[in-house]
């Protein structure tokens, strides 16, 4: 393999792997300097010229001309008679430049150089991928689905780099096939078997934050700050926003005219319901907003233990709790408070907390009833058996037995 073939092969490799030419030139020079050191014990008197545009690699041996019989180091000195064979008008004290052909190193050395170059280019490519994506953690990238596995999806970016979207980082309703294009946020860059692995996510809060940044100019410009995001991917999200300009309504700006800005994000997140709320340092007000769409009557705060007791009219309890307790769970995450919901009625009436029936009703059944906003005996009795069957996963016979137990508590009241 001559110099032209050697440089051309790696120039093509460079084009495929996006390694810049100065880096390729430095790699080639370092490899051949190592070969020179092995053959001549030093590379100080050798000049290596790499031209990746033309595919040229030249090695020149530079030596000082001395009188015949006075050569002490053949690597740095050459006798006058030998120098005159190279150029007839040389004289003592001048420097000679003699080109060294790659073939003179021998086939084994050339193969070793090629192997070393391949290894070095692969290492450089790994470093480039790591640097590129480590600097883009938190940014949205677009990739084409190349392969779908049980636990993850493999994507390729525009440069052919591999990206991984694990099942746990996908929205539950996400369903992809080969050739699909998807957007996700770069969550992190790991190393596996000494190779960088780019991990993407569609469930991370930063994905929603970046989508808002793309859709809402005021967020991109820094006029509106996203203070916190909590998500149940594919189902519901709550976003606390704050404006640095009193003239800007942060909620209105994020939602857009008739929901124009938020609709695109909702579609991207598989119809995930997104509640945009105004952030405030007033914790009572923040909890009230976080429990939207429920209307709160009053709130008792225990700031020391981060607990809040929220009182609502009976018809607002289920709204505050949400389907499967999702609304109150996200409100707790957003505010950092452990929120308890209580029914607030105008007249004092005797009622019993469902937990008081734990010796007669299984705990999982009580949890099922609480999930639909029924936390006391009378809140259950206010609903018909048919309504309870429809809103819970309980059997009709189970519902009838529960109603019997609860009714017995108030008999003779």
pLDDT value at position 55? 57
Q: Is the pLDDT of residue 312 over 80?
A: yes
Per the prediction, the chain carries an average pLDDT of 87
218-246 pLDDT per residue, tens: 999 999 999 999 999 999 999 999 998 88
375-410 pLDDT per residue, tens: 888 888 888 888 888 888 888 999 999 999 888 877
**Is CATH 2.40.50.140 correct for 142-201?**
yes
Q: 174 versus 344: which is more confidently predicted?
A: 174
Q: What is the pTM of this model?
A: 0.67
Question: pLDDT band at 183, cuts 50/70/90?
Answer: very high
Task: Kindly state the average pLDDT of the residues 306-334.
Answer: 91
pLDDT value at position 5? 55
CB 283 within 8 A of CB 276: no
3-state secondary structure of 226: strand
pLDDT value at position 13? 54
Q: Is the pLDDT of residue 52 over 80?
A: no
pLDDT value at position 409? 79
Q: What are the Cα distances from residue 317, in Å, to 239, 293, 372, 379, 393?
A: 22, 11, 9, 10, 19
Cβ burial, residue 136 (10 Å; 0-12/13-18/19+):
middle
pLDDT value at position 123? 83
Q: 31 versus 53: which is more confidently predicted?
A: 31
pLDDT value at position 126? 86
DSSP secondary structure string, 255-316? Answer: H-GGGHHHHHHHHHTTS-EEEEEE--S-HHHHHHHHTTTSPPSEEEEETTTTEEEEEE-HHH
Beta pairing, strands 224-232 & 236-243: antiparallel
- Of 120-134, 186-200, 238-252, the poorest mean pLDDT is in 120-134
Q: Is the pLDDT of residue 349 over 70?
A: no
57-82 pLDDT per residue, tens: 788 999 999 999 898 888 889 999 98
Question: pLDDT band at 19, cuts 50/70/90?
Answer: low
Question: pLDDT band at 323, cuts 50/70/90?
Answer: confident
CATH of domain 3-131: 3.30.1480
Task: Kindly state the average pLDDT of the residues 136-164.
Answer: 94
Q: Is the pLDDT of residue 2 over 90?
A: no
pLDDT more than 90, % of the chain: 48
pLDDT value at position 168? 95
pLDDT more than 70, % of the chain: 92
Give the residue from 259, 296, 295 showing the smallest Cα distance to 274.
259
pLDDT value at position 1? 43
285-299 pLDDT per residue, tens: 999 999 998 999 999
Task: Kindly state the average pLDDT of the residues 104-125.
Answer: 80
Residues 6+ apart with CB under 8 A from 21: 14, 52, 53
- Angle CA 120–24–117, to nearest 5: 30
Q: How far apart are CA 184 and CA 268, in angstroms?
A: 10
For residue 12 the two structure tokens come to 């093509």
pLDDT value at position 17? 52
């Amino acid at each position: 393999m001559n110099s032209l073939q050697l440089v051309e092969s790696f120039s093509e490799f460079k084009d495929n792997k996006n390694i810049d030419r100065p880096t390729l030139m430095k790699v080639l020079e370092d490899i051949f300097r190592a070969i020179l050191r092995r053959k001549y014990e030093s590379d100080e008197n050798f000049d290596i010229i790499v031209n990746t545009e033309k595919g040229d690699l030249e090695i020149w041996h530079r030596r000082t001309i001395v009188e015949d019989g006075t050569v002490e180091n053949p690597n740095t000195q050459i006798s006058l008679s030998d120098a005159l064979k190279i150029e007839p008008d040389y004289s003592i004290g001048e420097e000679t430049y003699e080109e060294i052909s790659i073939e003179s190193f021998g086939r084994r050395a050339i193969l070793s150089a090629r192997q070393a170059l391949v290894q070095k280019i692969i290492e450089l490519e790994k470093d480039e991928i790591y640097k590129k994506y480590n600097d883009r953690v938190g940014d949205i990238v677009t990739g084409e689905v190349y392969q779908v596995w049980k636990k993850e999806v493999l994507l390729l970016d525009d440069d052919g780099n591999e990206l991984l979207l694990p099942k746990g980082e996908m929205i539950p309703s996400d369903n992809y096939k080969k050739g699909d294009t998807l957007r996700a946020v770069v969550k992190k860059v790991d190393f596996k078997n000494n190779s960088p692995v780019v991990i993407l996510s569609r469930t991370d809060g930063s994905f929603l934050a970046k989508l808002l940044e793309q859709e809402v100019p005021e967020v991109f410009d820094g006029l509106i700050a996203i203070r916190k995001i909590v998500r149940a991917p594919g189902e519901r999200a709550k976003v606390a926003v704050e404006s640095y300009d009193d003239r800007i309504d942060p909620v209105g700006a994020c939602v857009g005219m008739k929901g124009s800005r938020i609709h695109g994000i909702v579609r991207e997140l598989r119809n995930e319901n997104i509640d945009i709320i105004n952030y405030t340092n007033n914790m009572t007000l923040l909890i009230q907003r976080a429990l939207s769409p429920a209307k709160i009557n009053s709130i008792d705060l225990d700031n020391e233990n981060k607990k809040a007791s929220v009182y609502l009219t009976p018809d607002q309890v289920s709204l505050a709790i949400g389907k499967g307790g999702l609304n109150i769970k996200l409100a707790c995450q957003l505010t950092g408070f452990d929120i308890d919901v209580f029914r607030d009625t105008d007249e004092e009436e005797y009622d019993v907390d469902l937990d008081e029936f734990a010796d007669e009703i299984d705990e999982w059944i009580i949890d099922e009833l609480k999930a639909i906003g029924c936390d006391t005996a009378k809140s259950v009795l206010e609903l018909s058996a048919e309504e309870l069957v429809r809103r819970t996963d309980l059997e009709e016979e189970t519902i009838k037995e529960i109603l019997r137990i609860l009714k017995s508590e108030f008999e003779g009241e």
